[in-house]
């Protein structure tokens, strides 16, 4: 009787172990997800940066875009911060899978890595009250122009000021620019066009005109190792996001607040 009980216990034990192992393996299979490592340089708000008042995670437009596309392809994204000049070498060494860092696809860089289509280009728009009759850069002569602090629009305004007599004032946030136009503090503001259009829809007393030649400004694209299949996969999803409006929503979220 003791032998029978002992054998039964051993069988139950072995069965339990095997069952447990099988369950663990199945669970592991379910939890295993493909992870892509994204390289970035987290010092370029609002594309990628750390807001220490909210935590230590890297956030920004590029982060949201990467996660959105990767999720559609069945991947998770791990973000790795590094010096900007180390991003392409890291791709070449296959230490990372792709890069989103506001990187411009120059001809020199294309020799080392593959790029997606441009996902964001900063076109400059002059926003003003409809009654101001500002329709060109020349109409800014003698005017006060608002720009977002440390933005490329601030750089554009400084460039224009070399040939046009205009006074530049900056603000931290774009809504502040819009408000100061409406109250008459500014005659106009220079804002990125996609962001500006969102505000023009809500403020019918305002109007905007794109600065001639600003469509030639360099855009940003995703970078991948030469020959990577991810380039085509990410490109296809990026095209869909452009068509269905998802990309515009991210632009307004990060550039329009």
pLDDT at res. 179? 96
Q: Tens of pLDDT along 50-104?
A: 988 889 999 999 999 999 999 999 999 999 999 888 999 999 999 999 999 988 8
Architecture of domain 124-216: 3-Layer(aba) Sandwich (3.40)
State the pLDDT at residue 92. 95
Asked if the domains at 34-121+217-255 and 124-216 fall in one CATH topology, the answer is: yes
Phi, psi of 57 (to 5 degrees): -75, 145
At residue 192, the pLDDT reads 81
Q: With contact defined as beta carbons under 8 Å apart, do 120 and 250 qualify?
A: no
Q: Where are the beta strands (DSSP E) in the chain?
A: 34-40, 49-50, 58-59, 75-81, 98-99, 113-121, 124-129, 144-148, 167-171, 188-192, 206-210, 219-225
Q: What is the mean pLDDT of residues 216-240?
A: 91
Sheet containing 188-192, strands listed edge to edge, beginning at the edge strand earlier in sequence: 167-171, 144-148, 188-192, 124-129, 206-210
* DSSP strand pairing (34-40 vs 49-50): unpaired
CATH topology of domain 34-121+217-255: D-Maltodextrin-Binding Protein; domain 2 (3.40.190)
- For the chain, give every domain's residue range: 34-121+217-255, 124-216
Which pLDDT score, from 0 to 100, does residue 210 have? 92
| pLDDT exceeds cutoff 50 at 108 | yes
Query: Is pLDDT of 227 > 50?
Result: yes
Angle at 41 between CA 36 and CA 43, to 5 degrees: 140
Give 26's pLDDT tier (boundaries 50, 70, 90).
very low
- 147 pLDDT higher than 80: yes
| pTM of this prediction exceeds 0.85 | no
Q: How confident is the model at residue 122 (pLDDT cuts 50, 70, 90)?
A: confident
């Amino acid at each position: 009787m003791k032998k029978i009980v002992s054998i039964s216990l051993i069988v139950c034990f072995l069965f339990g172990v095997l069952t447990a192992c099988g369950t663990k393996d199945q669970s592991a299979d379910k939890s295993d997800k493909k992870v892509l490592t994204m390289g970035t340089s987290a010092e370029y708000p609002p594309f990628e940066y750390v807001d220490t008042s909210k935590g230590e995670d890297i956030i920004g437009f590029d982060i949201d875009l990467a996660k959105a596309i990767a999720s559609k392809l069945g991947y998770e994204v791990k973000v790795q911060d590094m010096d900007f000049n180390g991003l392409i070498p890291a791709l070449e060494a296959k230490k990372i899978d792709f890069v989103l860092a506001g990187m411009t696809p120059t001809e020199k860089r294309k020799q080392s890595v593959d790029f997606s289509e441009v996902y964001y280009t900063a076109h400059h728009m002059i926003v003003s009250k409809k009654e101001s009759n500002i329709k060109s850069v020349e109409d800014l002569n003698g005017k006060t122009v608002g720009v977002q602090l440390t933005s490329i629009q601030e750089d554009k305004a400084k460039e224009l000021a070399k040939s046009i007599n205009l006074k530049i004032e900056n603000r931290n946030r774009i809504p502040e620019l819009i408000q100061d136009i409406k109250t008459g503090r500014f005659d106009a503001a220079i804002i990125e066009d996609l962001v500006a259009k969102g505000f023009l829809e809500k403020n019918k007393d305002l109007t905007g005109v794109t600065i001639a030649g600003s469509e030639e400004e360099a855009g940003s694209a995703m970078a991948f190792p030469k020959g990577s299949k991810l380039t085509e996969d990410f490109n296809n999803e990026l095209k869909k996001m452009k068509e269905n409006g998802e990309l515009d929503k991210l632009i307004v979220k990060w550039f329009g607040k």
